[in-house]
Structure 1
Amino acid sequence: MKPTQRFPRLSLAALAWAFAGSALAQGVLAPPAPPQDTLTRAATSVGVKRCLPAITRLATLTVQGSRSHDVLLDWDRKRPDGGPIFSLIGMEFPNAGVAASITAIPDDSGACTVSAERISVAPFTCASVGQQELGSYKMTRLLPNYAVYTDEKEPTSSVSLIDSPPGCLIIRRYVEYGWRDPAAAPVAAPAGAGATQPPKKR
């Protein structure tokens, strides 16, 4: 049976866009910014700074469209801005409950490794979900009930479909290594260092 309605999802392209860092011009009479997401508030309250822009980009996109959401947070109490931060977000949508996980790990260079997973259940078979939503993706069968879909244009993203009758468990995953805030000042090169290549655009 083909699905007759679309389910809440977080597209891989949208996740990638969250890290593009494109500046959007704002007029003098721009509308007020939306309320800050719960994960950003929680991370800020415990002292997370270096990876906060990455967390905010992913969290804002993740909770978009939800009626309400809340977060479970874990972090290194001794080094809140130097250690990893792990979060589990629960979201309420009009017709479904969705969970998401966002992790950020700073490194000594000032960059962050970040990952995001969004977990939902569709009231359809995984075959129909794959056909409707992931027709252009490459499918790899890991188990009889477990298939992973990837797109070569987004090599650090994947969608896993796990048959869980009468529905389908969907896990959308995104990872990026060495993420830097596009709005931050560039890191100064060490004294005596030779010419370096321009920063990679994201």
Structure 2
Amino acid sequence: MKTTTQRLGRLWLVAATLAATGAAFAQGVLVPQAPPAVPQDTLTRAATSVGVKRCLPAITRLATLTVQGSRSHDVLLDWDRKRPDAGPMFSLIGMEFPNAGVAASITAIPDDTGACTVSAERISVAPFTCASVAEQELKNYRMTRLLPIYAVYTDDKEPTSSVSLIDSPPGCLIIRRYVEYGWRDPAAVPAAAAPAAPAGQPPKRR
């Protein structure tokens, strides 16, 4: 089973080349061959500073993947001032890449069981037609046409992820979306309790 990080990383960082010309898609569509070091995550710092704790591990994982390879980034944060750790958190991230600007949105909503619903969207523009982007990146995805200019691509193996392509001549608007319900921090799962001693016998001394 793929982890959250693996699934989101695959959605975010799909790589492809244009076979006919040997050119690569613009930054934000393709992964650089050797991405620079990940900048310090501004969203995690901002969420921590306002008192978000319960969903912070999920926020950090999503934010780290989202800003990977960017030269710089900053964040706009909205949260429940009265219940910062029990209410939803919404963020909009702007990122600067060598050849393009990219936007992303990360949302985290805790529930009463201690789990979190999380979503992430990455929005970029490619200087190519949406048809060429789909041909190079999304050959194995299923396409649903919602409007003449708007198509959504999904993979049955990753039902909570999608890639939306919107024709915006002379380029293509690309929205990569990921959602997970009931996310729990694997590091916070308690270890299995030791088996109880048989009835009528005291626990062994240690």
Give TM-score, length-normalised by structure 1.
0.78
CA distance in 2, matches of 1:185, 1:125: 46
Q: What secondary structure, in the 3-state scheme, does the structure 2 residue paired with 1:117 have? A: strand
Q: 1:10 to 1:178 in 2, by over 3 A?
A: farther
RMSD: 2.2
Q: Match for 1:104 among 108, 124, 139?
A: 108
Q: Match for 1:158 among 159, 162, 168?
A: 162
Q: Is the 8 A contact 2:29 2:126 kept in 1?
A: no
User: In the TM superposition, what are the counterparts of 1:79-98 in structure 2 within 5 Å?
Assistant: 79-98=83-102
User: In the TM superposition, what are the counterparts of 1:65-144 in structure 2 within 5 Å?
Assistant: 65-144=69-148
User: In the TM superposition, what are the counterparts of 1:18-33 in structure 2 within 5 Å?
Assistant: none
Q: 1:34 to 1:142 in 2, by over 3 A?
A: closer
Task: Name 2:25's counterpart in structure 1.
Answer: 6
Q: Is the 8 A contact 1:10 1:62 kept in 2?
A: no
Unaligned runs of 5+ in 1: 12-32, 189-202
CA distance in 2, matches of 1:99, 1:106: 24
Q: Deviations over 1:54-111 (max 9, x none)?
A: 0000000000000000000000000000000000000000000000000000000000
Cα drift, residue 5 of structure 1:
1.4
Runs of 4+ in 1 over 2 A off after TM superposition: 1-4, 6-11, 33-36, 185-188
- Return the index of the structure with the highest Cα Rg: 2
Greater relative contact order (Cα < 8 A, sep 6+) = 1
Q: Is the 8 A contact 1:87 1:102 kept in 2?
A: yes
CA distance in 2, matches of 1:160, 1:187: 40
Task: Name 1:181's counterpart in structure 2.
Answer: 185
CA distance in 2, matches of 1:150, 1:40: 29
Q: Is the 8 A contact 2:38 2:70 kept in 1?
A: no
Q: Is the 8 A contact 1:10 1:172 kept in 2?
A: no
Task: Name 1:168's counterpart in structure 2.
Answer: 172
Unaligned runs of 5+ in 2: 1-17, 31-36, 193-206
CA distance in 2, matches of 1:134, 1:151: 9
CA distance in 1, matches of 2:164, 2:38: 31
- What is the number of residues matched between the two proteins? 168
Cα drift, residue 185 of structure 1:
3.4
Q: Match for 2:44 among 33, 37, 40?
A: 40
